[in-house]
Amino acid sequence: MEYLNGEVVFSNLTEHDNYGKFSVVVALDDEATKKLEGEGVKVKDYEGKKQRAFKTKFEFQYVDADKKKQEGELGRGSKVTIAYKLGEPYEEYGVTTYLQGVKVVERVKPAGQGDVFEVDESEIDNSDIPF
């Protein structure tokens, strides 16, 4: 079993995607990128950030830092530790990464969830309204 830390870019952890898999795409720091590339895993570069998808068709461990079971999707920027296994190398695609678990270190709500009108009134500055 291998482990690395990263930030969630996209998560599909609660339902299978169109291909029948659970998945999480993680933005990687230099250390994690070097580790994966050293294992033969291909890492994508998107807008100057290194990213990798981890997928599985099977149930996996999804917990918080105290190992309490988690539910729901993770928002962009959530900090996670990914547990994964390496698959067989493919010449064109590199080594496959099979998701085994996600430990949430710092959770961010997914965009579009929650009360959009939940506002801290003290943060509103009405002094520049012209009427």
Q: What is the pTM of this model?
A: 0.81
Domain residue spans of the chain: 2-111
- Alpha-carbon span 59 to 107, nearest angstrom: 21
Domain at 2-111, CATH homologous superfamily: Nucleic acid-binding proteins (2.40.50.140)
* Predicted confidence (pLDDT) per residue in 13-39, tens digit: 999 988 999 999 999 999 999 999 999
Q: What's phi and psi for 50, nearest 5 deg?
A: -80, 135
Return the percentage of the chain with pLDDT > 90, whole number.
74
The pLDDT tens digits of the residues spanning 62-71 come to 999 999 999 9
How far is it, in rounded angstroms, from Cα 84 to Cα 96?
A: 10
- Give the lowest-confidence range in 37-46, 65-74, 97-106, 110-119: 110-119
